[in-house]
Amino acid sequence: MKSRDWVRFFFSSLLVGAIAATASGFILNWDQQAGSFQKFQIDEILASFIWFIGVGLLFSIISQMGFFAYLTLHRFGMGIFGSVWNAVQLVLIAFVLFDLVYFRYQFFGDSGSLLPYIWPAAGFFAVCLVIAYFKQKDTNKGAFVPALFFMFVGTAVEWFPALRENDQNWLYFMLISLLCCNAYQLMMLPRFSGSAEKKMGQRKAVEG
C-alpha cells in the first residue's frame, strides 16, 4: 500500500471515530442534552459536539494503534504457533470473555446479581461474531477466527480505560466508538490495499 493510501485510510478511520462518538454520545447522554436542544442553546450544543468529535478522534487513534499492533501480533503468532495459531486465539477469546464478566463482577458487583455483568459481555461478543462472519464472507473461511480475535480481544484491550470505571454511559460510549472504528478498519483495509495494487498493475500494463 502506498503512503497516499495509508493517509486516506488513516483519515477515513478518524472520520468514522468522530461520527460514531458524536452519534453515540448524543444518544447515550440525551437526558442531559435534550434541554439544550429544546432551549436551543447553541453554545452548549456546540461545546458537546466539539467534545464528542475530539474524543471520537482519540478513540479512533487508539483503535488504529490496536489494529496495527494486532497485524504485527498475527504475523508473529503464525510464525511461532503455525497451524495451531487459530486454536491459541480461541483460547484467548474464551479467557477474555470470562474475565470481562468475572473481574468486573469482583470489582463492582458488591455480591449482587451476576446478570448485569454477563449481558454486556455477551452482547459485545455477539456483535463481534457478526462482524467476523461478514469478514469471512468478504474474504474466506480462514479469516473468521483472526477477525473475531481482533474484534473481541483487541477491542477489549482498547476498552480497558472505560472498564476500570463503573459508569454505564462511558462504558458504552467508548465501546460503540471502538467497535465502529475496528470494524471499519477490518473490513476496509483490503479495499485500500487492493486499490493500491490495482493501480500498480494498471501502471505496469501501460508501461509494458
- Note the pLDDT tens digit of each residue in 101-119: 988 888 887 767 788 889 9
The confidence score (pLDDT) of residue 105 equals: 86
pTM of the model: 0.86
Query: For residues 121, 186, 135 and 1, what is the CA-based torsion angle, rounded to 10 degrees?
Result: -170
Residues of the chain with pLDDT under 50: 196-208
